[in-house]
Every structure is written in C-alpha cells, then in structure tokens.
A and B are shown apart, each in its own frame.
Chain A
Amino acid sequence: MSDWVRVADAGDVPEGELRSYTVGNRTVAVANVGGDLQAFDDTCTHHGCSLSEGELDGTVVECPCHGGRFDVITGEVVAGPPAEPVDVFEVVEADGEIRIRARDTD
C-alpha cells in the first residue's frame, strides 16, 4: 500500500535547500529546486551517507562523503562513485502541507 504522508508545513524547505523526513521505514530527502519540491531517498547508494547533508546544485545533489552526484528528479547517478540510482518519491505541497507518497521497501 502506498499512502500520502504529511512530513512538514508548506514552505519548510526553502529554495535551493534540502531537508529530510521519515516516511514509513525510509528517510526521504526533499529538495527545493527553483520553487519545485523533489523527493528522493536520503541514503546514498554508495556508502549510506545522508544526501540531505550534502549540497544542492541546480537539480543535482552531491553526497557530502565521497562526492557522488545524483539527479534529484530522476534519481540517476550523474557522477562519482555510486553504482546505483536512488529511489525517487512523489511529493506535493497542498493545503499548507508537504506530503510524500510512501513506497513499499523493495
């Protein structure tokens, strides 16, 4: 089952910044790219570091540990050591809330 989960108030993720939230048994990072929210798995597929503690550069998040770079919209690896993409999540800002659609763990 996949349900929408409220994680924060609308506006809690300022433009160009990253936050992370617990959704089910996953930690999900939310990036604000030019006013649009993008959600993706916070755990780097390379070494398990928290991507929301890294840097957001346009649509690319850079892992703070070893410099792996992921596209926050597709989850694909852009550069660096990670071999696998990160999962992306559906996210909406509505009724004064940020909501993320939970995913079953594979």
Chain B
Amino acid sequence: MDVLVVGGGLAGASAISTLRAQGFDGRITLLAEEPVHPYERPPLSKEYLRGETTEPQWVRPPSWYEEQGVDLRLGARAAQVVPGDRVVLLEDGERVPYGRLLVATGVRNRRLEVPGADLPGLFDLRTLADADRLREAAGSATSAVIVGAGFIGCEVAASFRRLGLDVTVVEVFPTPLYRVLGPELGRVVEAMHRDHGVRFVLGEGVASFEGSGRAEAVVTEGGRRLEGDLIVVGVGTKPDAPVGVADERGAVPVGPDLAAESEGVYAAGDVADHDHPIFGRIRVEHYDNAIKMGETAARNLLGAGEVFDDPHWFWSDQYDSQLQVAGFATEWDRMVVRGSLEERSFAAFLLKDGVLRCTVTLDRKLDARRSLPLIRAQARPDPALLADPAVDLRTLRPPEGAG
C-alpha cells in the first residue's frame, strides 16, 4: 500500500510524521501547492509579520522529509481526484495514483466581490509569500485599513499598531470576532484594540476599493472613504478541496473517523467537514485541530478506526494578551463569567441547555484547557462553581463513564 498526501500544511505533515511513527514503511508522496516545505502559519500574522523572526517556522526541518523517505513534490497542485481510478490529476495533467489518499488542502482566502477588488495593492494573508509581501509593504507604510475583524484582521491590526502604523478596521458585524464570540465578548476585544489606538468602523460593509492605478482607499456602504497606504482584506475563507472529493462548498465531508465517502480517501485539517460526535457537523480552522486530525487520519489510514472526538482548542495572541477558545458553540442560552470582562481577565463559559459547550478566556489561560474534559464529557457544571475563581475546574469533571 502507498499513501498520497495532498496539501503541504500542518495537517499533512503531521499525518506523515504519525505514519512513520506508527511504523508504516510504504511509499509516501506529499503534493504541496506552495513552493516551500510545510511551515507553521501562526507567526505569519504576528512575529514574522513584524519582522521579529525572518525564518519560517518549519513543521519539520526541510531535511526531515528525505530522511523519512517522503517523496515531497513542491509546487504541485492537485486539480482533481478520480476516486474510481484511485488517481489524482495535477494541474498539468499528470496522473498520480494512490492506494490511500489524505486530502489536507486547507482553505483559500475569500475575496470581496466589489468594484476595485482587482486593483493592485490590495493585500491578504494566508501564505508565507503573502506575509513576505505584506511585511515589505508595511515597512514603508504609515497607515493601514484592514477590512474584516476576524482573527486575521485583529492579529494584523495588533501587529501593525506595534509597528507604529495608524490602523483603521472596517467590519460588517457590530463587533470584532462577532460570529465566534458574540456581541458581549466581541465588545471586550474591541475595547482592547481601541485602547491600543485602533479605530473601528463597525456594522458597515465595503462598497468598493478606490485608487488610481493601485488601491488607496476603502469606501464603505455608509459612504465613508478610508484612505490607507496599505489595505488588507481578511474576510474569511473557503475550503479548497480538489474536484472529485469536494462538496458544493469546496470541503470534504468526512465521517466521525475522518473517512470520506470514497474508498480509501480521508481528509484532515481546515478542509475537512467533520461529523463530530459532540458538536455535530463542523469545520474548523485551528492549528491544534490540524495536528490532531492529521495524527488520527494517519492512524485510520492504517486501519485503526478511531473516532475523532477532540473538543477543539485554539488561541489568538493580540498585543500582550491571549484569547483562548475551548470547544465549539454557535449558539448558547447562558454565559457565565469568571473574573471580569471589564478588566479583561476572564473565562466566559457558554452553556446550552445547561451543557458546557465552549469556554472563552482572556488572560486566564488554564481555564480554557481545563474546560476541555468538561466539554468532551458534555458536563452540566453548576454555574455558581463556574463563576467562582477559587474553584479548580478539574474538580468539576464528572466521574469516568458518567455524562
């Protein structure tokens, strides 16, 4: 049996690492669209963007792939999978056969379909090459307009403020991180950025980009014209699976064990639309999830048959603060706060029908990690105990086998 991994990011590299660690000595081929070895993306909006590090943070040292006998093909984009023939077609028409296939192609950035969106001088951020371009441009800029106050927009805003740029953020929702955190916690993040000098235009979409020859201004639907030396668009993503395994949104639907519908095909990371045993069908774009899904997919490629039930966890570093989110919730009927939203040191527990679904922390790191076993167990902790900073969340875990 041989394994073909399509996608040169964290999930694919983690899967290969696990395959070899499990003793798999068959042929492994990795097709990576970008012309560089797999690297870590978190620094791209932070220390790499700010120029504090200049070397990419490799997932594994570049020499590792050859040492592990991996046939690494950089700059190779898979255009299509033909599951019936067990073959992947590259963009140049080459056919790459597979015994087992792992799709880990991630996501692409969404573009705004508005007038001026094709002007030169509009930046977005996903790849190392994007980060290099943005870093260079930031070096000679004094002002920036950032479209989108999601995680990328917020982190880039924080990095630009640290570099001394004048920053305005435009967001169509009423607060930053609105869809993930809701309005109440979103306002806390907004206040943190305002205290660091970021200006916001909230609740307004972008009508167009303007400029003579290159993008110089964002025009909002409310008619405001916001000029910047640098305009960065971070308005979400769309999954980027090859034709043949992609659903209508571009993701790969997978079962609880990360197996796709087609025989021998698995998916991991941002591209995997997963039937999660706790949360139902979800697709997330988290660092930790890419590693863990890659590891589980690798074991399942070898026949382990594990259900992936990780409760999800991620972080976002902004200024000297750290937001952490454990679990997953798109709706909740109760929020219990431990600590203080106003002082920006808190854990916010999001409950639905009494079940803890998600914990959001700002500078109370351990409470996020310590929530994970509770979320996995679908525990119904006493809200009074959740709210009490003196209560160690580890003491609230239901007994093994219960819940």
Contacts and interface: CB of A to CB of B under 8 A. Distances in A.
Nearest to A80: B291
A53 B369 contact: no
Interface in A36-69: 53-55, 62, 64-67
A55 B42 contact: no
A81 B365 contact: no
Contacts of B300: none
A55 B369 contact: yes
Given A81-B40, A81-B42, A83-B57, A64 B291 contact: no
Interface string B285-301: 00110010000000000
Contacts of B370: 55
Given A55-B366, A65-B365, 11 more contacts: A53-B366, A54-B366, A64-B369, A65-B315, A66-B42, A66-B315, A67-B288, A67-B369, A80-B291, A81-B40, A81-B42
B313 interface: yes
Contacts of A65: 315, 317, 322, 365
Interface of A: 53-55, 62, 64-67, 79-81, 83
B57 A81 contact: yes
Contacts of B317: 65
Contact of A62 (B42, B287, B322, B369): B369
A53 B363 CA distance: 12
Nearest to A82: B57
Minimum-distance CB pairs A-B, first 3: A64-B365, A64-B366, A67-B288
Contacts of B57: 81, 83
B313 A67 contact: yes
B366 to A, nearest CB: 6
A8 B362 CA distance: 32
Nearest to B60: A83
Nearest to B366: A64
B10 to A, nearest CB: 10
14 contacts: A62-B369, A64-B369, A65-B322, A65-B365, A66-B42, A66-B287, A66-B315, A67-B288, A67-B313, A67-B315, A67-B369, A81-B42, A81-B287, A83-B57
Interface in B32-57: 40, 42, 57
Given A81-B57, A83-B57, A53 B365 contact: yes
Interface in B259-280: none
Contacts of A79: 291
A65 B315 CA distance: 8
Interface string B318-348: 0000100000000000000000000000000
A75 B184 CA distance: 41
A65 B365 CA distance: 7
Nearest to B370: A55
Contacts of B291: 79-80
B176 to A, nearest CB: 21
A59 to B, nearest CB: 18
Contacts of B42: 66, 81
A64 B365 CA distance: 6
Contacts of B40: 81
Contacts of B369: 55, 62, 64, 67
Contacts of B366: 53-55, 64
A79 B18 CA distance: 12
Contacts of A64: 365-366, 369
A34 to B, nearest CB: 17
Nearest to A79: B291
Contacts of B288: 67
